[in-house]
């Protein structure tokens, strides 16, 4: 495989983060260079932004400010991490990317979609994912997994159930609109079954 950007997306508790680890291990067996990273928080600056974005109560950041902070994180991350890795021929597995902003700030917060598309384009300088895996799970199931994990819920996880349902609607809509780029994965299956699906998708979609 040549350098590629593969993105993992979905609502809270969809299981994407543990699937990234399993996918990394599987890809290593092909002696491919693999970079695992995330948004927000994939750079040193991004780690500061992640803390600001996810700590505190839900009212401490205005919606438009939140949008700009995610865009700032993405801009730095694309320049410093993603583009150089792809140029070096690595497979980049990225936990969230531009579709998160459409789902969370667009559908969840109700911010202007044109503005979001413009900011996504600026922050990525046009770099789109080669493939996005959308981990589809009911909002209630995902949030219950998060609560069961024992960690305190972060600023976004603490949002209302209605907010999380709007985010989920966003992913459904994105999947319909970009059915070539975004592939749905049934995230209610066992960890092993989900990983098998991912391996089948990557094998068929990314042979270059």
User: Which spans of this chain sit near ligand TMP (rule: CB under 6 A)?
Assistant: 12, 38-40, 70, 95-96, 100-101, 104-105, 156
Least distance (Å) between residue 103 CB and ligand TMP: 8
Least distance (Å) between residue 123 CB and ligand TMP: 9
Residue with smaller CB distance to ligand TMP, 144 or 200? 144
Q: Are 191 and 15 in contact (CB under 8 A)?
A: yes
Q: Scanning the structure block, which residue is given the tokens 């695992």?
A: 36
Least distance (Å) between residue 183 CB and ligand TMP: 19
Least distance (Å) between residue 130 CB and ligand TMP: 18
Residue with smaller CB distance to ligand TMP, 76 or 100? 100
The string of DSSP letters for 31-96 reads: T--EEEEESS-SSHHHHHHHHHHHSS-TTSS-HHHHHHHHHHHHHHHIIIIIHHHHHTTPEEEEE-
Handedness of CA 55, 60, 63, 67 (dihedral sign): negative
Residue with smaller CB distance to ligand TMP, 20 or 85? 20
Integer Cα distance of 171 and 136 in angstroms:
8
Residue with smaller CB distance to ligand TMP, 1 or 172? 172
């Amino acid at each position: 495989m040549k350098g590629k950007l593969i993105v993992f997306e979905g609502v809270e508790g969809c299981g994407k983060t543990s699937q990234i680890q399993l996918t990394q291990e599987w890809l290593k067996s092909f002696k491919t260079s693999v970079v695992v990273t995330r948004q927000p928080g994939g750079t040193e600056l991004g780690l500061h932004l992640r803390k600001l974005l996810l700590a505190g109560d839900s009212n401490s950041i205005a919606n438009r400010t939140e949008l700009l902070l995610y865009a700032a994180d993405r801009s730095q991350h694309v320049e410093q991490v993603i583009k150089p890795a792809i140029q070096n021929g690595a497979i980049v597995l990225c936990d969230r990317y531009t579709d998160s902003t459409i789902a969370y700030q667009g559908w969840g917060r109700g911010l202007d979609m044109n503005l979001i598309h413009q900011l996504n384009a600026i922050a990525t300088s046009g770099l789109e994912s080669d493939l996005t895996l959308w981990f589809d799970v009911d909002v209630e199931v995902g949030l219950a997994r998060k609560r069961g994990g024992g960690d305190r819920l972060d600023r976004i996880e603490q949002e209302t159930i209605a907010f999380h349902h709007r985010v989920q609607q966003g992913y459904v809509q994105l999947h319909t609109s970009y059915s070539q780029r975004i592939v749905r994965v049934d995230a209610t299956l066992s960890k092993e079954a989900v990983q098998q699906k991912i391996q089948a998708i990557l094998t068929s979609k990314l042979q270059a």
